[in-house]
Amino acid sequence: MSYQNQKTLYSELRPFADMMIDQGRGVTVSDLTFASAEDRYSTSYIPLTNGTSAGGTSVTLPAGSVVKFMQKNIGEAGQGFTAALTVGETNNTNGDRQPSNQVYIATHLGFKVYGTARASSLDEITIEDQATMAKICGNTTWSLTVGDGIKRTLGTVLEYPAGSGPTGFVALSSTTAVLSSFANNGAADCEQKRKLPIPIVFPPNIQVDLELKTGAAQTFNNNVLAATSVNGQGGFGGIAFKATFKGFRMTMPA
């Protein structure tokens, strides 16, 4: 283990050294062996519905839409998508649980949010309006269920920013300078993913469900999320949420 990884591991997990991993065997965090520091990420899709309003064409993020993460592997369709997920959407390779001798301990979480044209498309469409981004993220909650435990709603997407991606650029020509801005769930210079109050443990051979759920229906007017075309990018058919955990992969004792 490198010195930097060792230092990060100890500072992040030291307060939770006695956290129980396997009750039957009496295995705690302090009994685990470090394997790697790594991110785990997975992307899900919620379709929008089309309609009309006083301002013209509108689209709506439906109420009560539910979708899960970390269910499908690279090369599999699902989580709202009909297209097979690539390494751009997930690095999951073991379905909804860890292998028998491994534990993943997540210390940070962040959600990236963007649009796609349809469930069969993985092409990213940038959401350019900050108010729209805030409305989507603030109206969508995430919950966690480990095994047969109680489902716990732990926050909104807005409260767990990804802090990644472009926030703007200046396009220069011989006569003009045009400023374009892009909304993100967290500015590029904000903290890279929020630290979880208590680490999330993905234990071996136990199903872990990370789930998103929308609140009240949210309607977007004036072509902010137009069903036809947005600045030449094509229309929005739905919203993609990419959840990225930062943490440590550990090995169970023999």
Asked if the structure places residue 9 within a domain, the reply is no
Asked if the structure places residue 20 within a domain, the reply is no
Asked if the structure places residue 204 within a domain, the reply is yes
Asked if the structure places residue 16 within a domain, the reply is no
Asked if the structure places residue 5 within a domain, the reply is no
Is residue 90 within 8 Å of 43, Cβ to Cβ? yes
Asked if the structure places residue 4 within a domain, the reply is no
Q: What is the pLDDT of residue 187?
A: 54
Ranges of residues in the chain whose predicted pLDDT is under 70: 1-10, 51-57, 163-192, 221-235
pTM across the whole model: 0.84
Asked if the structure places residue 12 within a domain, the reply is no
| Domain of residue 185, residue span | 32-251
State the total domains in the chain.
Answer: 1
Asked if the structure places residue 196 within a domain, the reply is yes
Q: What is the pLDDT of residue 51?
A: 61
